[in-house]
Structure 1
Amino acid sequence: MPSATYEPELDTTRPFRIRWTRNDCERFERDGLLTPGKYELIEGDILRKMPQKRPHLFATSLTLSLMNRIFGEDYVQLPGPIDVSPEDNLTSEPEPDVTVLARPLAEFSATNPRPDDIRLLVEISDATRYFDRGTKANLYARAEIVEYWSLDLVQRKLHVHREPRDGKYQSVTVHGENQSIAPLAAPDQAILVSALLPPKSE
């Protein structure tokens, strides 16, 4: 009698994923389960912020100082939440390292800056550099934020994202530490990339 051979069934079930919302995070904060400033909500995922290492802190301070000099302290936001596109707002509330605003910071005492309030975003990237140039760049492009910089502390390069269209930045240029770049909002203010970077470690 012929014997029957059965192939094992393939489990094609996708892993169970909960997509958290801003309302969920606010509730978790009230219940003491999350601490403001210690996490980001990105595309429904609650991401714990890693403690800043000295190079990240140093680069953030340099970038903040330069942006304050160019745009004025009243127009530069420290690491803090922003709004993104309406379709992403429910499940995302990113907190870029530096945000250059089109209106004075005092006007955002109770609400997040919206995409049309933002002239430039800067993320200081080390362990998160691929995430910042991928998931976050697409999030910012969908919001049509006109310019986004990702400063890579590992490769010591600045990735400049411009021309958001169809959910992607159409122009992405990479600048080495000996090159200069001027923000779109201040075209006469060229910045040497090395001025944003901590000294090279020996």
Structure 2
Amino acid sequence: MGILKPDDRLELIHGELYERNPIGSKHAGIVNKLAGLLNGLFKGKAVTGVQNPVQFDDRNEPEPEICLLKYRPDFYASAHPVPADVLAIIEVSDASIRFDTEVKAPLYALGGIPEYWIIDLDNNWIEVHTNPKKGSNASIQRYLPGEEISLMEQRLSVNELLILS
């Protein structure tokens, strides 16, 4: 119908199209760094999706910054991943922090996503949501610079994830 353009940055959440915020250079740099790091750590063990859709249902198809997926030799070329394929989702947040915590966190928990990270660029911390139950996460832990986070038995430095060097 010509309403949407191919370069529109949109996500389908709860049956509504949400316009995604423009990505700043620090935000983009962190996403690129994470993608490279995770690709190296989990080569042959997981697929790292970058700003690609996850098909929850007909009303929900978010496009997280980073999605760590169960390994498939076709790299999900035959179909978008579904929540059962997801090992972890990572959102990099600045202007989108409220949306990522109030809208996406409950959606990901409802979908049973085992681990959801919010990398908060404004506050310089990483919030990790785990143990999803009935649309919320039983555990939310905040990690600060100088600390380490575990992802699939790999230890990662918060400093390394938050700072571009």
TM-score, normalised relative to structure 2: 0.91
Q: 2:80 is aligned with what amino acid?
A: N
Which structure: greater helix fraction? Answer: 1
Structure 2 residue corresponding to 1:70, chosen from 20, 25, 41: 41
Secondary structure of the residue aligned to 1:106 is coil
Q: Between the two proteins, what is the percent identity of the paired residues?
A: 28
The change in CA–CA distance for 1:69 and 1:199 in structure 2 (over 3 A counts) is closer
Size of the aligned set, in residue pairs, is 164
Counterparts of 2:7 and 2:112 in 1: how far apart (Å)? Answer: 26
- Which residue of 2 is the match for residue 58 of structure 1? 29
Q: 1:81 aligns with which of 53, 62, 67?
A: 53
- What is the rounded CA distance, in whole Å, between the counterparts of 2:75 and 2:49 in structure 1? 12
* Runs of 5+ unmatched residues, structure 2: none
Work out whether 1:197 is the aligned partner of 2:165: no
Take 1:143 and 1:119, find their aligned partners in 2: how far apart are those partners?
12
Check whether the contact 1:141–1:168 (CA below 8 A) recurs between aligned residues. Answer: yes
Amino acid aligned to 2:122? V
Kindly provide the CA deviation profile for residues 98-151 of structure 1, in whole angstroms up to 9, marking residues without a partner as x: 111112262511311011111111101100112101210100000001111110
**Cα separation, 2, equivalents of 1:43 and 1:109:** 25
Question: More displaced, 167-176 or 67-76?
Answer: 67-76
**Does the aligned pair in 1 maintain the 2:129–2:137 contact within 8 Å?**
yes
Deviation at 1:38, TM superposition (A): 1.7
The one-character-per-residue Cα deviations of 1:47-85 (angstroms, maximum 9, x if unpaired) are: 12222111101110111111112111761111100022x
* Aligned residues of 2:128 and 2:142 also touching (Cα < 8 A): yes
Q: Which runs of 5+ in 1 are unaligned?
A: 1-27
Q: Tell me the SS of whatever aligns to 2:143.
A: strand
Q: Is the 8 A contact 2:21 2:95 kept in 1?
A: no
